Amino acid sequence: MKEKKIAIASHSTKIIPIQWDATFFFERAVRSMDRYHYDKALKYFRRAAEYEPENPVNHCNMAGILSEMGNYEESNRILLSIVSELDPEMTECHFYMANNYANMENYEAAEESLIRYLEEDPDGQFLEESEEMMELLHYELERPTKLAFIKAREGFFEHDRARSMLEEGKFVEAVRLLESIVEKNGEFMAARNNLALAYYYMGMFEKAMVTIQQVLELEPGNLHALCNLAIFYQHAEDKVQLKPLVELLCKTVPFHQEHVFKLATTMGILGEHGEAYRHFMRLLKDNGLKSDPCLYHYAAVAACNIGRYEEARRLWQQVSKLDSESHVPGYYLEQLTLMENGQNTAPTSYHYHLPFEEQFKLWEKRSESLPDHMKRDPLVRSSFFWALRHGDRHTKLQVIQALGMIADNEVKDALRDFIVEPQEDDYLKRIAIFVLRSIGVHESLNAVLEGKETVIEHSRMPSRLPIWEDKWQSVLEAALVRMNKQYDLVQQHDLLTLWIEFLSRIYPNVPKLGKVEGWAAALEYLTAKMHRREISYHEVSQRYGTSIATVSKCVKRIDEICGIKEKMRKVLPALTEAPV
């Protein structure tokens, strides 16, 4: 017995201590999960959470097991405690809760949790799964999910909205939104590219150039930016910079449909019509684009410029079938006949609208208002904003009138900017002020007139008069109300100018103006004469409900003060008229 005890004592024993901690129980839980022993896994995750109660991962694992076991309510209770008490940044818990609610058929609560996940999660780990769940919720709730923002795609929703604004011609609003996107996310190349285009559409060429250069500094091979830069170089007539860039683009064969379209339109604008035609015909082979009239028009313009007139005719005839209400195909088919006879040159613009001059001809035929298609078409609006900055005086005058017919917030912003430009013509700026007032802008306006910054108050007209009497305003309003449908905005403005000139010259000895209608009728009569419109004392006195003698008397007084007859003698018939 003694020897046995010695033997036992001499044998070295190996005891491996077990470390009872959270890691131990976590590993046991995972093994149990792999064997689908959920009861054991839940028990081990609970023990892990007891050892590390402040670790949200242990609690989240426990909630996951409860969900697998169908205990959705308890799972959600734990998930809610994680984001409420332990770690609010574990935003994936909201996605897990949404899953649990969906399994409980509580779809309203599932939607609420899913939206919270998408609005708070910066990484977008479950974006694809979330899209699938949104489809389910859409079906079950019979309405779209009430989602306005996805944090993981910060800027994407806003960028889509900005693109829509550009397509609708709302350039000022698009610029504001795109500037805010770029400020938050400087690596968002698509937003920078579209911001450059928005500046360009508005005629802000220097800003457009700076913005596109910034894109290429960050991403030198960006095709959209290279195409935009080439167009900007062409606008600046910088042939030295343009030539190598065109050579590079001619060698480029993009794969993606969007890139093919961008390159095709760019080559057309640059005058590389053969390259443009090749790319447009590539696009027309795609069945998904065979119903797009714009694409056929672009291909027709390219074909026309390389002398393929029959092909151009076939393409424009297809445009006519696809878009029967458009004036575009008919106009270009007429022009094509002249081109074939050598009487006209090929079109230079690829835009799917009529040339600027033709648009105004259509408008003038419908002088009561601007045609709806001109109001909606973003390219037309772009041409208006561009012409307002870069057109000649006559074109700017037409544009200001046209913008008055559109009369939306974009127009108001554009005209506000116009009247503070020091280099613009004062007469045009006064008409712009008049248009702003006529389309409902009643607040004070900042303007630069006669080289000086000035504020035009709502209650005052843009004049040097120290006061503006209510009676004077009544005369003006009586005339403008009756002229509204029969005179354009320039003619209405000229009436305003005539009235201000009369009051300014005669002040302070202004007549009492007892008969407002008589003075208003006289102003219309003189304005009509200045614009070579047929009018008589009899006609105007009937419309204003006053006598011929009163109108004649007021006309004579205004003419004595302002010298209208003398000014217009060489270009207009005599202003005097024998009373009937």
Contacts of 41 (CB under 8 A, 6+ apart): 29, 30, 32, 33, 65
Residue 249, Cβ neighbours under 10 Å: how many?
Answer: 19
Is the model more confident about 433 or about 180?
A: 180
536 belongs to a structural domain = yes
Is the pLDDT confidence value at 151 over 70? no
For residues 161 and 74, state if they share a domain: no
For residues 131 and 175, state if they share a domain: no
Question: Confidence class of residue 314 from pLDDT cuts 50, 70 and 90?
Answer: very high
For residues 416 and 401, state if they share a domain: yes
**Which of 304, 220, 236 has the alpha carbon at shortest distance from 268?**
304
| Residue that has been written with the tokens 């009676």 in this structure | 471
Q: pLDDT averaged over the chain?
A: 80
Residue type, 207: K
Residue 420, Cβ neighbours under 10 Å: how many?
Answer: 15
What is the per-residue DSSP string for 563-575?
-HHHHHTTTS--S
367 belongs to a structural domain = yes
For residues 539 and 526, state if they share a domain: yes
Is the pLDDT confidence value at 124 over 50? yes
Beta strands in 415-537 (DSSP E): 445-449, 452-456
Specify the pLDDT at position 358.
63
Specify the pLDDT at position 350.
75
Range of 31's domain? 22-153
Specify the pLDDT at position 264.
92
Tokens of 402: 């046209």
7 belongs to a structural domain = no
Overall pTM > 0.85: no
For residues 33 and 147, state if they share a domain: yes
**Which of 403, 465, 402 has the alpha carbon at shortest distance from 476?**
465
Specify the pLDDT at position 293.
87
411 belongs to a structural domain = yes
Q: Which of 115-119, 169-173, 266-270, 288-292 bottoms out in mean pLDDT, i.e. has the lowest?
A: 288-292
Specify the pLDDT at position 372.
59
For residues 78 and 129, state if they share a domain: yes
For residues 542 and 446, state if they share a domain: no
10 belongs to a structural domain = no
Q: Per-residue pLDDT tens for 55-82? A: 788 788 888 888 888 889 989 998 998 8
Is the model more confident about 425 or about 40?
A: 425
For residues 118 and 167, state if they share a domain: no
Question: Confidence class of residue 4 from pLDDT cuts 50, 70 and 90?
Answer: very low
The residue from 252, 276, 291 where one domain ends is 252
Please state, in angstroms and rounded to a whole number, the distance separating the CA atoms of residues 117 and 389: 47
**Which of 201, 257, 274 has the alpha carbon at shortest distance from 231?**
201
Is the model more confident about 355 or about 433?
A: 433
Is the pLDDT confidence value at 511 over 80? yes
347 belongs to a structural domain = no
Specify the pLDDT at position 154.
63
The residue from 125, 153, 181 where one domain ends is 153
329 belongs to a structural domain = no
For residues 70 and 178, state if they share a domain: no
Structural domains of the chain, count: 4
| Residue that has been written with the tokens 């447009």 in this structure | 280
CATH number, domain containing residue 236? 1.25.40.10
SS3 449: strand
| Residue that has been written with the tokens 């949104």 in this structure | 134
Please state, in angstroms and rounded to a whole number, the distance separating the CA atoms of residues 170 and 67: 49
**Which of 490, 482, 571, 560 has the alpha carbon at shortest distance from 525?**
482
Is the pLDDT confidence value at 3 over 50? no
12 belongs to a structural domain = no
The residue from 428, 456, 484 where one domain ends is 456
Give percent above pLDDT 70 in the chain: 81
For residues 125 and 73, state if they share a domain: yes
Is the pLDDT confidence value at 467 over 70? no
For residues 64 and 125, state if they share a domain: yes
For residues 27 and 70, state if they share a domain: yes
